[in-house]
Amino acid sequence: MPRNDAVVESKRGAILTCKRCQWEWVTRRTVLPKVCPHCKSRIWNKTKLKKGASFFEENYYGF
């Protein structure tokens, strides 16, 4: 099972980190949120593409 670096478990709940704006928050729910509460990005748990890398290179070569 792949590890999600955006989610860390704690006693109060899951500590989530947006990979777009680096915002961290604690969630009380068991499901992942649809958007980041700070920047409102729907792809908050996906890493940004490196500058100059295409979508194909990012997914095929794992840059």
What's the pLDDT tens digit per position in 8-43? 666 677 889 999 999 999 988 888 899 999 999 999
For 32, the token pair is 């992942």
Tally of domains within the chain: 1
- Please give the distance of CA 7 from its chain centroid, rounded to a whole number: 8
pTM > 0.75:
no
pLDDT value, residue 58: 58
Q: Which domain holds residue 37?
A: 1-63
Closest-CA residue to 27 (of 41, 8, 51, 46): 8
pLDDT value, residue 14: 85
pLDDT value, residue 16: 92
Q: How confident is the model at residue 60 (pLDDT cuts 50, 70, 90)?
A: low
